[in-house]
């Protein structure tokens, strides 16, 4: 029985044993149990936290059912985004087309819920049955006086990454549609944080303390009106660059807004991010305040974090994430408490990402692109890792094998960004690693 | 009684009370030994469905995808499907591959049976796992339609297959066997049903049986296909089994697996409501008495006795209390009948299913309640919420999707069915027979008592 499919051999790399020629950015092999989702998933996850928008899934019911309130993204205002709306296409719609149903659904929902904007997600069959989603959106937008934006997220038209792009294209239609009066010179947009467990609020608070105005948060706790005037900001600060870099690039091109890539995971990366932003504005006041903030936060949290080092030192982890950028931060964060990463991979990394991972990792580390449960399990066992850091799909696999687990994906309820987030993260890693239950599991040979 | 079937309007579904049909088929395939499902469509379908399973069962669930790309949707999915079959065979070494379609492959008109035929023809004498096909267009019906269609496909496939030697030896004992199509129930429910049949001195063939595959022990190495599930040899005996128990009112009059065995092989079909409550469990055990020729074992008489005793002890807590019940139509109908049995009123019975049978049955069953019960089919959770605000129920009974409503109305939610992703132990929730009913009953009584206690000004310590 093949543990690794032939088509996937070049997507697996063992540092130190082979020359580096990582294949990536490919469609998943047919029949592989990929951990990836689809184009729709990419769009849905990016746009989901826009809290005052109507999110209507145009297609049969499944796509809407499986994405109903599944994320930990919080809102300081409306809760509309947590509802699941679908045109719920039926056989007759497939035969005669779904445009009428889409139109009437939009009118009904907009009248009822009074959203600030609406996103219409086209799923797999919409194009095939010939619906002109753009035309329906345009018509409803005119009639109802709010932006109604088609999101071309047909599941099969690429990977999750293409879904991010489709979401950015839709968002970009909002940008530049409102006035920018009153926006300060020292201002930014926070891109690519999704306010999981209030993370955007933590980051926003840092910037407020630094004296930097946050014009919009895209999309964590996102508001339509803020996005419409986001072109008034002086800088786009992009986290989770896989999803939002495309929007930043479009804004650079059209509005000449520069962007920088940052990460807020880990003490080191958070400090670096904030300082980079401060230095961008060349304002001594901001720089001073930022250094003060970093000093204060580090003084509070670093000793707390380092308390765990003795217990965690020498422990090994598997890290499997959506975008590779997060993996860089996690490797550094784990290193801070003396842990190493033995298996690392991402669903959507590119050549540069994997080259960087290779530089960061120790000899023997296994690097994976678009992996599957069989590989993840076998490599984690081979490397005898103590904890698996990934998303909810990997959790039961880790537990089944008697391996600890920390959720680092959108469904989690713990804030993991910034200084406090790093402490939360290390606490969670600790609480899973140190649990006494593992000694009873089969992997540790403790059968009756 | 009031029956509302949301008219065919051109309006949106808001917070759905249903899933799509490939989901149900995947679940059934998980209950056949050595099986890996392939969903013929986009990658997202299998990943979303896996994630949904995992949130409830907390077990690894591998479902492969034929992974459509743009060209696939133009030129058809044959190439991808064949590649998926080869890859899954290589990596998982399955005994059976379950192939279910999706909205995408159905809409582009893929003739999957033809693809499979050609694929196997090309294989010639080379051994390949059994391939069972089920058509599950997501735009038609709910996850339960996918579930029942997959059961039927499996039963049809194996009862038409040639028997192996090992199955032949089982056939000689098939007279003492019963085939059970248990419907969508918990792994614990399946284990309990199996034990009951064993206690009646019979063998069984369950389709599906995911009681081990979706609720098993830890592993020392990754098990690509978890142990458990109904073995192929048992499935080959189906045509010789003279008695078939098929749970679920909704299947009555439909072209179900049980009906198929009846019409093709003359098996006697016992179409029963899911055995929740005393009346429905009595029906089930009576059927087992007839099939086995044995009396109900004492231990079940004792369980029944304790349940009746509990009904009496708790009757005043419950009398006249109003419950809203929602979820899969067969579970809803059985719980509603159980609630009537204990003096509660299922003021609203709701399901996202089309629910023809649900409406028909409820009309006969709830005659005595006249206008006190509303049956709502093709319902979504916004419908359920609107109704509930008017009905002012004491209790919600259904899956985790009712939590926001429970929070909003300030009334307890007793979690049953699927999905349960905001509590622990979903696989081990019991609903069925005297023992399962007892557990459910205790939970309902305690939910009512707890609410009364927490609302009491005095903070009573005895309730």
Q: Which residues of A touch B354 (CB under 8 A)?
A: none
Domain boundary among A147, A174, A201: A174
Residues A315, A439, single domain; the answer is yes
Across B62-68, average pLDDT: 95
Residues A296, A314, single domain; the answer is no
What percent of chain B shows pLDDT beyond 70? 95
Q: Residue B7 above 50 pLDDT?
A: no
Query: Residue A7 domain-assigned?
Result: no
Across A52-56, average pLDDT: 98
Q: For B68-99, how does the pLDDT look when each residue is reduced to its tens digit (9 = 90+)?
A: 998 888 899 999 999 999 999 999 999 999 99
Of A3-12, A325-334, A350-359, B326-335, the poorest mean pLDDT is in A3-12
Q: For position A368, which CATH number holds?
A: 3.40.50.1980
Q: Is A74 on the interface with B (CB under 8 A)?
A: no
Are B401 and A68 inside 8 Å of each other by CB? Answer: yes
Are B19 and A65 inside 8 Å of each other by CB? Answer: yes
Q: For A185-211, how does the pLDDT look when each residue is reduced to its tens digit (9 = 90+)?
A: 999 999 999 999 999 999 999 999 999
Q: How far apart are the CA of B182 and the nearest CA of chain A, in angstroms?
A: 24
Are B18 and A395 inside 8 Å of each other by CB? Answer: no
> For testing the chain A interface, which of B6, B10, B12, B47 should be mutated: the one with the most A CBs within 10 Å?
B12
Q: For B426-435, how does the pLDDT look when each residue is reduced to its tens digit (9 = 90+)?
A: 999 999 999 9
Which of A:374-393 have CB within 8 Å of B? 374, 377-378, 381, 392-393
Sheet containing B96-101: order of strands: B64-65, B35-40, B96-101, B130-134
Residues A360, A249, single domain; the answer is no
Q: For B115-140, how does the pLDDT look when each residue is reduced to its tens digit (9 = 90+)?
A: 999 999 999 999 999 999 999 999 99
> For testing the chain B interface, which of A9, A25, A28, A30 should be mutated: the one with the most B CBs within 10 Å?
A30
Domain boundaries, chain B: 21-159, 165-298, 306-455
pLDDT for position B4: 63
Across A111-129, average pLDDT: 96
Residues A263, A324, single domain; the answer is no
Query: Could you tell me the pLDDT band of residue B8, with boundaries at 50, 70 and 90?
Result: very low
pLDDT for position A322: 85
Are B48 and A41 inside 8 Å of each other by CB? Answer: yes
Residues A77, A191, single domain; the answer is no
pLDDT for position A51: 97
Domain boundary among A284, A303, A322: A303
Q: Pick from A38, A61, A155: which is nearest to B13 by CB? A: A61
Query: Residue A136 domain-assigned?
Result: yes
Range of the domain at A134: 39-174
Q: Yes or no: is domain B306-455 CATH 3.40.50.1980? A: yes
Q: How far apart are the CA of A8 and the nearest CA of chain B, in angstroms?
A: 11
Domain boundary among A303, A330, A349: A303
Number of A:B CB contacts under 8 A? 251
Query: Could you tell me the pLDDT band of residue B1, with boundaries at 50, 70 and 90?
Result: low
Query: Residue A404 domain-assigned?
Result: yes
Number of domain units in chain A: 3
Across B333-349, average pLDDT: 95
Q: Yes or no: is domain B165-298 CATH 3.40.50.1980? A: yes
Q: Global pTM?
A: 0.95
Q: Residue A240 above 90 pLDDT?
A: no
Q: How far apart are the CA of A140 and the nearest CA of chain B, in angstroms?
A: 15
Q: Residue B175 above 80 pLDDT?
A: no
Q: For A269-302, how does the pLDDT look when each residue is reduced to its tens digit (9 = 90+)?
A: 999 999 999 999 999 999 999 999 999 999 999 9
Query: Could you tell me the pLDDT band of residue A1, with boundaries at 50, 70 and 90?
Result: low
For the B21-159 domain, the top CATH level (class) is alpha beta
């Amino acid at each position: 029985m093949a543990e690794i499919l032939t088509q996937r051999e070049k997507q697996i790399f063992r540092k130190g044993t082979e020359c580096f020629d990582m294949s990536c950015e490919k469609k998943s092999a047919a029949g592989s149990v990929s951990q990836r989702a689809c184009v729709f998933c990419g769009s849905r996850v990016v746009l989901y936290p826009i809290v005052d928008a109507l999110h209507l899934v145009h297609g049969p019911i499944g796509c809407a059912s499986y994405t109903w309130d599944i994320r930990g993204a919080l809102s300081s205002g409306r809760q509309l985004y947590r509802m699941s709306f679908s045109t719920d296409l039926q056989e007759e719609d497939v035969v005669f087309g779904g445009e009428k149903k889409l139109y009437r659904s939009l009118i009904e929902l907009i009248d009822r819920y009074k959203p600030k904007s609406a996103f219409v997600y086209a799923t797999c069959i919409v194009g095939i049955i010939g619906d002109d989603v753009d035309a329906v959106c345009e018509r409803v937008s005119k009639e109802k006086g709010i932006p109604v934006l088609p999101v071309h997220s047909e599941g099969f038209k690429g990977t999750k990454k293409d879904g991010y792009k489709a979401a950015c294209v839709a968002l970009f239609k909002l940008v530049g549609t409102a006035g920018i009066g009153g926006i300060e010179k020292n201002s930014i947009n926070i891109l690519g944080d999704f306010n999981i467990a209030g993370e955007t609020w933590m980051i926003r608070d840092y910037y407020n303390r630094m004296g930097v105005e946050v014009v919009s948060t895209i999309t964590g706790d996102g508001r339509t009106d803020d996005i419409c005037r986001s072109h008034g900001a002086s800088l786009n600060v992009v986290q989770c660059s896989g999803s939002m870099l495309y929007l930043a690039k479009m804004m650079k091109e059209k509005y000449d807004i520069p962007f920088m890539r940052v990460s807020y995971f880990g003490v080191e990366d958070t400090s670096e991010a904030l300082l980079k932003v401060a230095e961008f504005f060349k304002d001594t006041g901001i720089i001073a305040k930022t250094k003060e903030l970093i000093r204060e936060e580090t003084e509070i949290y670093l000793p707390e974090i380092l308390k765990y080092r003795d217990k965690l030192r020498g422990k090994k982890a598997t890290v499997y994430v959506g975008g590779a950028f997060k993996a860089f931060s996690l490797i550094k964060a784990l290193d801070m408490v003396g842990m190493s990463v033995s298996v690392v991979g991402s669903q959507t990394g590119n050549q540069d990402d994997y080259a960087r991972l290779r530089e960061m990792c120790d000899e023997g580390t296994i690097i994976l692109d678009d992996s599957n449960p069989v590989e993840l399990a076998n490599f984690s066992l081979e490397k005898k890792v103590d904890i698996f850091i990934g998303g909810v799909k990997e959790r039961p696999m880790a537990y089944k094998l008697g391996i600890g687990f920390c959720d680092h994906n959108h469904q989690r309820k713990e804030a993991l960004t910034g200084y406090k987030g790093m402490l939360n993260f290390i606490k969670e890693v600790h609480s899973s690693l140190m649990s006494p239950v593992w000694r009873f599991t089969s992997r540790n040979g403790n059968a009756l | 009684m009031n029956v509302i079937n949301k008219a065919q309007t051109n309006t949106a579904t808001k917070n759905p009370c249903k899933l799509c049909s490939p989901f149900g088929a995947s679940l059934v395939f998980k209950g056949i030994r050595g099986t890996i499902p392939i969903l013929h469509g986009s990658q997202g379908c299998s990943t979303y469905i896996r994630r949904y399973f995992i949130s409830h069962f907390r077990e690894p669930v591998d479902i492969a995808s034929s992974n459509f790309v743009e060209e696939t949707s133009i030129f058809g999915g044959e190439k991808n499907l064949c590649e998926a079959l080869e890859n899954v065979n290589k990596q998982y070494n399955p005994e059976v591959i379950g192939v279910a379609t999706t909205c995408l492959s159905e809409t582009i008109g893929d003739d999957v049976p033809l693809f499979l035929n050609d694929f196997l023809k090309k294989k010639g004498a080379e051994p390949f796992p059994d391939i069972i096909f089920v058509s599950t267009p997501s735009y038609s019906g709910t996850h339960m339609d996918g579930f029942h269609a997959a059961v039927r496909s499996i039963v049809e496939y194996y009862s038409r297959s040639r028997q192996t030697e090992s199955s032949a030896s089982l056939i000689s004992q098939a007279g003492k066997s019963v085939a059970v199509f248990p419907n969508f129930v918990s792994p614990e429910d399946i284990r309990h049903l199996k034990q009951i049949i064993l206690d009646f001195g019979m063998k069984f063939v369950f389709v599906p049986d995911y009681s081990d595959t979706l609720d098993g022990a830890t592993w020392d190495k990754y098990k690509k296909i978890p142990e458990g599930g109904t073995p192929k040899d048992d499935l080959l005996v189906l045509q010789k089994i003279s008695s078939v128990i098929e749970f679920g009112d909704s299947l009555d009059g439909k072209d179900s697996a049980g009906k198929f065995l009846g019409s093709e092989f003359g098996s006697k079909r016992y179409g029963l409501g899911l055995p929740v409550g005393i009346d429905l469990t009595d029906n089930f055990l009576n059927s087992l008495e007839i099939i086995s020729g044995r009396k109900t074992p004492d231990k079940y008489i004792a369980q029944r006795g304790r349940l009746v005793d509990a009904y009496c002890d708790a009757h005043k807590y419950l009398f006249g209390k109003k419950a809203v019940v929602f979820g899969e139509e067969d579970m809803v109908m059985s719980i509603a009948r159980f609630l009537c049995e204990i003096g509660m009123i299922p003021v609203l019975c709701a399901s996202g299913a089309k629910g023809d049978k649900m409406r028909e049955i409820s009309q006969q069953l709830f005659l005595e309640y006249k206008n006190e019960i509303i049956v709502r089919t093709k319902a979504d959770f916004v419908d359920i919420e609107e109704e509930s605000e008017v009905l002012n129920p004491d209790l919600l009974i259904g899956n985790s999707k009712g939590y926001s409503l429970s929070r909003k109305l300030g009334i307890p939610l007793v979690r049953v069915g699927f999905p349960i992703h905001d509590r622990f132990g979903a696989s081990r929730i019991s609903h069925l027979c005297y023992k399962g009913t007892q557990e459910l009953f205790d939970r309902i009584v305690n939910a009512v008592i707890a609410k009364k206690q927490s609302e009491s000004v005095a903070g009573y310590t005895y309730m």
